[in-house]
Structure 1
Amino acid sequence: MTQLGFGPDTRPLSVLRAMMRIQSTPSRSLDVSEIHGSLLRAEPGTALSKGWVRKVLDQLSNMQMIRVENESESRKKYISDINTIVAGLEQLKGRTLSSLEKRRAALQARSNELSAFNFSDVARVLEGKTAGRAQQPNSGLLKGLQSYADFADAEIYEKAVPGDVIRIAQLQLRPFRGGITEGVNRTLRAAESGAEVRCLVTVDVLSADDFLAEVFPENALVEFFVKAYGARQKGLKLDLRIDTGHTGLYHLTSLNKDNMVILVSEDPMAAMWVSRRFNPDLIEAAIASFEQIWQGLTPLIQDPKHPELGVPTTKPSFFLEALKAAATIVASGGT
């Protein structure tokens, strides 16, 4: 009850207890004098007037903790029972939850604003005004899904033009819960812009049937595969391949050999972005590892008559069933 602001040291609770101590039956009503006397006996030495008790009784009445039997000021009597107490606590709970929800919404708004804020711009302006230099940051730590998505959008997907290559190595899905559907659509948009998209996903990720069913509600994954087949038929360079468990592969998203985001922590989610100016050797090594594995894998989304090509196992799974359903739609001329 302390969380409701009705803790053991509050005066309203002291008065309520004083009533409960002298009620011989739950239906017996009490006047102010009786309640005042019970309170003084429970707390000897306190100078609590009847007028003060009346004020607290009014509070309890407004809180629905007690019921007033007679509205006449001189003849007012009060009743407290299990029903009034439950009603009062429920009202307090509702008020408390409403207050907490407002605070939560305000904190979430501040959190979103802070997460989306680009401190690189602040640092660049500060350095420019102070030292007269105009530099661009070339690395940084990204904390949380929103920061990861914002950077990938601004520095990779939105900068990609025809002829560019976007490489995606998806070793984990769970850190991206809540942003997976948008991430899938992002790859489609990048291919439609003319960039070549190479997406490598591990078989472990695709074996998590329950998780995939949760993050791809209804037919969302089928719809993606239908669009992916359509993109391939239009000559767009969208390629998906499944890795069976090579070592030395980073979870990454990169644009050519210029910018790269590497996942470094799942919980809490954190990623490191690096530019070629910051560490060309790291980017070269990561992409070389990606390409070595990529070249040995069979492409998916090639022939809708044989959707299982490129899938390491043909046993039923959420992923394979969605792929087959999409292939059936495409083979029948649907979109």
Structure 2
Amino acid sequence: MAMIGFDPDERRMIVLRALVKAQKDHESFVTFEEIKKAFRIEEGEKSVSDPLLYRSLTSLEKDGYIIINRTEYRHRYGSNHKVMRVGLKKAKETAMEKLESKADRINSEIETLASLDSTVLAEEFMSMMTGRRVKTKSIFVEGLQACFGVIEREICDSANRGDVIRFTTDWLRAEEDIERRLTSIFECLGKSGAEMRVLCRSEGQNPQTNEFGAIIQKLHDLGYLVEMRKQPRDDATYQFVSRSGEGMMLIVAEAPLAATWISRDANLLLIESAIENFEEDYEKAERMTELSEI
């Protein structure tokens, strides 16, 4: 009973117990005064607050534990096995909803914890201890959510006005919560004042293109410096997200998804090559949005 939140010592449950004991049988109804008398005996109290009893009875009716006969001037109250079954069913459903919500939060935390890289944890720890951000040279991560985490830490947190964020989309895959996470990332980048250049293949090449395009268009309409272009090319090219020439998250495998963060200090030539390749494709690609000035 505790699992569904039933507490026999709760005041309104004591009122319910008093009501049931005041009944002559399970089908009879009792008056407020009879409940009040039974409650005093149950609690050993000489007096009891009428408003308190009325509130308890109203709450019990709302939750399905009792029924009230209002056909007479003085209301009469009753309960039985069938009535309580309704109340207990509601209590069970409420408890299930709370547990499912708690389970969702726990699963989300487990997923986030599982995706954390020990290198990232060490950097965060050193940053917390010293108050200085440690420059990341390289990180390897697996999974879409872990990739988003790298973008948030290494790009969103450092982006400023004047930066150019280059974002290819072929590596994106449909997963739960992807729309909210992507919107959050681009809103963060937009608020920083950075310019965002997004490059995707034509519709049909990647089923996420249309959905992603809707997110970009919405942010564009809000006045952020974001432009999305599509290209018809079918051959493989760099898949990455970068901040100017400072660093990039390079996709190294798509099934399963894996990526590595490469800083400017670690491999400047690779970053410059990827950006040069991106800009060549970007110039030839068809515009899906227009840059806005803010």
TM-score (norm 2): 0.53
In terms of Rg, which structure is larger?
A: 1
Percent sequence identity over aligned pairs: 24
- Specify which of 262, 277, 288 is matched with residue 274 of structure 1: 262
2:119 is aligned with 1:119? yes
CA gap of 1:166–1:249, structure 2 versus 1, over 3 A, is same
| Alignment correspondent of 1:257 | 245
CA–CA separation in structure 2 for the residues paired with 1:150 and 1:119: 13
Q: Which moved more, 1:287-296 or 1:101-110?
A: 101-110
| Code of the aligned partner of 2:140 | L
**1:295 aligns to what SS in structure 2?**
helix
| Alignment correspondent of 1:291 | 279
| Code of the aligned partner of 2:248 | M
| Code of the aligned partner of 1:237 | L
- 5+ residue gaps, structure 2, are 1-99, 127-132
- Spell out, residue by residue over 1:209-260, the C-alpha distance to the aligned partner (whole angstroms, 9 max, x if none): xx678x68xxx93x752441341xxxx4211100111535211100011110
* Contact preservation (8 Å) 1:229, 1:301: no
CA–CA separation in structure 2 for the residues paired with 1:116 and 1:142: 8
**2:265 aligns to what SS in structure 1?**
coil
CA–CA separation in structure 1 for the residues paired with 2:108 and 2:241: 28
| Alignment correspondent of 2:139 | 140
CA–CA separation in structure 2 for the residues paired with 1:269 and 1:281: 24
CA gap of 1:109–1:153, structure 2 versus 1, over 3 A, is closer
CA gap of 1:256–1:302, structure 2 versus 1, over 3 A, is closer
CA–CA separation in structure 2 for the residues paired with 1:187 and 1:145: 16
CA–CA separation in structure 2 for the residues paired with 1:248 and 1:207: 13
**1:151 aligns to what SS in structure 2?**
helix
| Aligned CA-pair RMSD | 3.8
CA gap of 1:244–1:162, structure 2 versus 1, over 3 A, is same
| Alignment correspondent of 1:191 | 190
**2:228 aligns to what SS in structure 1?**
strand
CA gap of 1:226–1:114, structure 2 versus 1, over 3 A, is closer
Q: What are the residue-to-residue correspondences of 1:225-240 with 2, within 5 Å?
A: 225-231=217-223, 236-240=224-228
* Contact preservation (8 Å) 2:201, 2:209: no
CA–CA separation in structure 1 for the residues paired with 2:199 and 2:288: 10
TM-score (norm 1): 0.47
* Contact preservation (8 Å) 1:173, 1:205: no
| Alignment correspondent of 2:232 | 244
- Give the superposition deviation at 1:181: 3.9
Question: How many corresponding residue pairs?
Answer: 189
| Alignment correspondent of 1:49 | none
**1:156 aligns to what SS in structure 2?**
helix
| Code of the aligned partner of 1:282 | L
- Give the superposition deviation at 1:112: 2.8
| Code of the aligned partner of 2:114 | L
CA–CA separation in structure 2 for the residues paired with 1:286 and 1:212: 21
Instruction: Point out 4+ residue stretches in structure 1 off by more than 6 angstroms.
Output: 101-108, 123-126
CA gap of 1:237–1:224, structure 2 versus 1, over 3 A, is closer
- 5+ residue gaps, structure 1, are 1-100, 127-133, 304-335
CA–CA separation in structure 1 for the residues paired with 2:105 and 2:222: 41
CA gap of 1:254–1:224, structure 2 versus 1, over 3 A, is closer
CA–CA separation in structure 1 for the residues paired with 2:257 and 2:205: 20
Q: Which moved more, 1:266-275 or 1:280-289?
A: 266-275
CA–CA separation in structure 2 for the residues paired with 1:190 and 1:160: 7
